[in-house]
Structure 1
């Protein structure tokens, strides 16, 4: 019996080793390089990781992209040699302690993969310095192994706090643009943070080359205009409908900050343009050709001070969130007025031949030391709203059509985090599927092995029984023959 079982057990062990090798080979083959870090995680850890990713994605801002017409960003000249190095340099108005830089890609609608970055460099080097240090120092660097493109979300570059009066972005390896495959350097926006302040906003920009187009959607000044290809679509809070005034010759909006505040930055969120395809407006509903923002210590604006006098030149000057840095001004009351309205074709089409216009926004943010001091404050217009009209309270409720309005730095972090999680999520799913497939292979082989062992053991017992029966028969015959011989001898 033992002699019969030994070969079967030995063969079973060989088959088990082969099955394990085959399962391991099936598991290890065709594994993407970017997934190597997942090898050390168990199936339970991978499943928990997937649940964690989905949970985080549900709490992050979404990639809601702009529509309509507007500024796109910066594009280098493509006629230069492809091996060239392109650069962008932002001159700050003074020396700041900067701690983070955000690079926002220009986006292209790919017919197969959807929206993707276009002309975002494959490798970059970031330098920063002061007027006394024109060469500066390298504060961050990304190479091909970092795989920073393609992407939809912004690239957030954390820095050790450093004093800088200029920042230079060097594209050390260019990527190709989707349109014609030419190597080029493109960006939609550059944000330089000093704490919560974007100190690069509307500062002077110099570039190695510039491919300006005739429609005016590409220019280096769009790198620091605060306009990005995204709509602020946070995952928190209820939606709020923007306020738009009635038609008037010079409609105005007012804010009471409750006490005197030092205002240094203004953010205006444009009226929601609707979610129809196509949109009903070009994106300028409620935004006058000329907007004057004044501050005052008294509600009658007897001692009004100009905070901002904005003159719109074309559609590229406006976007979902318009941002300006202004000279620090102390005031309690703020007035936003539409100045010198001009009749438009749209005015006539809506029954307004006099050329009267409206003014309106989804939110008005006034910043003092990085804090929105207009949040929750009283807002009102020249004429009180009629029943059913949108309320001026929407101007300072901290919400837009999608929900809660986030600080710009938080918004960029959430979009960057979403990009990272959406990049790793399919890798985790692929790894889990590979592990599940490996388990199925092992289970199938072990099942066949168990069946083989069962059959082998059954056959072994049957053979053993046959052999024992034969031995017993032979013994009986031998005993009978011996007994016959003994009886014959007597």
Structure 2
């Protein structure tokens, strides 16, 4: 029964195991899941921007996916580049939510210098299925000096709404350290661009630094940024405390609105024409123009506006409003200026972080200008662009791994559930089986006890009864031989021998196997009992293949001997026979005993004592009553 239970458990485990299950244990998977969730809690979130703005750049549609296309970005002077980030164009799927749209299925990135127009392949990508992830694709590359970078598309994917092959991207970033050296650089392309009446698609939007995400990081607290009073556009001043080589500017727009839909296009607080100046004198007597920017259309603005600048040393920076924002339905009376953060990039770091900031307004500000350099936006801490893209890409990888982990855990939990269900059934079956085993054992014990009692009774009856009957016969002969001493002495010796055998039989009646001298030689015992019991009855004893009888197991020899003995006692007691024929025969499979007499016979079945002995020895016994008279007893015992 224990073997059966183990077999059931093994089979259930095998049947419930998935074909390609994760080999890690549940505890390992759960530990990895916890580690991933902990790591995800510290990464930037893919919060999507709203409002109106630039989307990116795309080609005209094609019927085949293998049309060779390329886009090349002029980096100017040779720069050592080490990472490329590609941001997909996003599409709102009405059923599945946001997804990437027509991201190239296969491409390679080639980089070279002005002297090497052929360049070298620095990265390759090929996907088995259409990319649907909204996250940027970050490609770390070996540090390579490059004056240009070319993206060569070898296989396009289908655009969602018309199922035609198109190449499109929202942004291409090429990093040298923390600096995006592709920012606002000239772009060339090998294909014909389609008409764009919306103004949201253009090659310059590939490198304007504007992506479809909001910088929603997992650290820092919310800062609403600075916003002037209505109708005001004061100049904004920053004191860096010392001269820094400024090589870039990032302007973070103020949070536009939490309402849905938004109250503004996305240009709240951004002047239509602004100028950023740098100086080393506090009165800006030595002012140098760092940036002069004019917003011509809504696509020129965004949550983050970035520029790379020729490196300029300055301590003081001011932002001057040349023309207020009155172009998109906001009157001059209600116009304002404001930003969430102003970053002045020097050696890849924000030199303005935590520096003194003020405005030249005499009116009370709507929000404090100190929030312009606190390193925070409406979602939390502000990150370098490269780190931001890397965190989003890492989040994508971890979320995919987490999805696979959860699937593996669900399979293992399901397997555990199946095994637990099997175990419940096994335990139930084991309890029921144990009950049956206990009941069966009890019944067997009772049966064995009954068999033992029956065997003891049979032994007492067959052995002691026959011996006592023989002693009675010999006593009668002794009384008749009182006058003749010689036969009397022989009879008394036989009586003495029988009493000793009877005593031994009485001691071992519960277990005849323990008695010494009984049926050690079955043939001799048979002959002796025949002479002793049939002393005054003519008889004939035939034994064929004597060795077979002595080779029987001792239990079978004793049972056969007692059956034979009881058969002779019945003849002597009841048959009143004058002749008895006894025949033993046997082979390797069975032995046969036949006892025939010519006595008065009897009606009915085999005597009870003989039936009992035959049952104990698991033999077949029967009786016949010939027409000529007498009785014939048959016994067949399997060897």
Match of 1:233 in 2: 216
1:169-218 deviations in Å (ceiling 9; x for gaps):
12222111111111111111111000111100011111222234111101
SS at match of 2:441: helix
Residue 112 of structure 1: how far off its partner (Å): 1.8
CA distance in 1, matches of 2:243, 2:444: 108
CA distance in 1, matches of 2:178, 2:296: 29
Match of 2:415 in 1: 438
- Alignment pair present for 1:115 and 2:75: no
Match of 1:192 in 2: 174
Whether contact under 8 Å (1:245, 1:381) holds in the other structure is no
Higher mean displacement: 413-422 or 308-317 = 413-422
Residue 250 of structure 1: how far off its partner (Å): 5.7
CA distance in 1, matches of 2:46, 2:233: 36
Residue 391 of structure 1: how far off its partner (Å): 0.6
- Alignment pair present for 1:59 and 2:42: yes
CA distance in 2, matches of 1:292, 1:412: 29
Match of 2:369 in 1: 392
Match of 1:372 in 2: 350
Instruction: Select the residue among 327, 340, 360 that pairs with 1:382.
Output: 360
Whether contact under 8 Å (2:54, 2:205) holds in the other structure is yes
SS at match of 2:311: strand
CA distance in 2, matches of 1:125, 1:55: 34
1:308-350 deviations in Å (ceiling 9; x for gaps):
11111100001000011122222111111111347557444xx
**CA 1:215–1:459 in structure 2 vs 1: closer, same or farther (change >3 Å)?**
same
1:281-328 deviations in Å (ceiling 9; x for gaps):
111111111111111121221221111111111000010000111222
Residue 44 of structure 1: how far off its partner (Å): 0.4
CA distance in 2, matches of 1:425, 1:343: 48
Instruction: Select the residue among 240, 261, 277 that pairs with 1:278.
Output: 261
**CA 1:384–1:237 in structure 2 vs 1: closer, same or farther (change >3 Å)?**
farther
**CA 1:74–1:447 in structure 2 vs 1: closer, same or farther (change >3 Å)?**
same
Residue 10 of structure 1: how far off its partner (Å): 4.5
SS at match of 1:383: coil
1:9-32 deviations in Å (ceiling 9; x for gaps):
4543443332122122xx22xx6x
SS at match of 2:323: coil
- Alignment pair present for 1:468 and 2:468: no
Match of 2:546 in 1: none
CA distance in 1, matches of 2:325, 2:449: 119
Higher-RCO chain (CA-CA 8 Å, sequence separation at least 6): 1
Residue 424 of structure 1: how far off its partner (Å): 2.0
Residue 150 of structure 1: how far off its partner (Å): 1.6
CA distance in 2, matches of 1:322, 1:481: 113
**CA 1:131–1:343 in structure 2 vs 1: closer, same or farther (change >3 Å)?**
closer
Residue 129 of structure 1: how far off its partner (Å): 1.2
CA distance in 2, matches of 1:478, 1:50: 72
Instruction: Select the residue among 407, 412, 416 that pairs with 2:389.
Output: 412
Match of 2:56 in 1: 73
Match of 2:120 in 1: 137
**CA 1:241–1:99 in structure 2 vs 1: closer, same or farther (change >3 Å)?**
same
CA distance in 2, matches of 1:385, 1:423: 52
CA distance in 2, matches of 1:82, 1:477: 95
CA distance in 2, matches of 1:345, 1:424: 45
Match of 2:520 in 1: none
- Alignment pair present for 1:330 and 2:313: yes
Whether contact under 8 Å (1:75, 1:212) holds in the other structure is no
Whether contact under 8 Å (2:62, 2:166) holds in the other structure is no
Match of 1:41 in 2: 24
Whether contact under 8 Å (1:100, 1:159) holds in the other structure is yes
Match of 2:425 in 1: 448
SS at match of 1:274: coil
CA distance in 1, matches of 2:141, 2:325: 47
Q: What number of residue pairs does the alignment pair up?
A: 466
Residue 453 of structure 1: how far off its partner (Å): 3.5
Match of 1:160 in 2: 142
**CA 1:263–1:312 in structure 2 vs 1: closer, same or farther (change >3 Å)?**
same
- Alignment pair present for 1:100 and 2:93: no
Match of 2:204 in 1: 221
Residue 249 of structure 1: how far off its partner (Å): 7.2
Match of 2:247 in 1: 264
**CA 1:455–1:126 in structure 2 vs 1: closer, same or farther (change >3 Å)?**
same
Residue 72 of structure 1: how far off its partner (Å): 0.1
Residue 443 of structure 1: how far off its partner (Å): 2.1
Match of 1:22 in 2: 15
**CA 1:179–1:383 in structure 2 vs 1: closer, same or farther (change >3 Å)?**
same
Give unmatched runs, 5+ long, in structure 2: 473-639
CA distance in 1, matches of 2:41, 2:363: 37
CA distance in 2, matches of 1:385, 1:233: 32
Matches within 5 A, 1:343-358: 343-344=326-327, 346-348=329-331, 352=332, 357-358=335-336
Residue 88 of structure 1: how far off its partner (Å): 1.6
Higher mean displacement: 102-111 or 444-453 = 444-453
SS at match of 1:46: helix
CA distance in 2, matches of 1:420, 1:342: 41
**CA 1:464–1:340 in structure 2 vs 1: closer, same or farther (change >3 Å)?**
closer
SS at match of 1:230: coil
CA distance in 1, matches of 2:62, 2:14: 55
SS at match of 1:120: coil
Whether contact under 8 Å (2:219, 2:380) holds in the other structure is yes
Whether contact under 8 Å (2:53, 2:300) holds in the other structure is yes
Q: Which protein shows a greater Rg?
A: 2
Measured on the aligned residues, the alpha-carbon RMSD in Å equals 2.1
Instruction: Select the residue among 5, 8, 33 that pairs with 1:12.
Output: 5
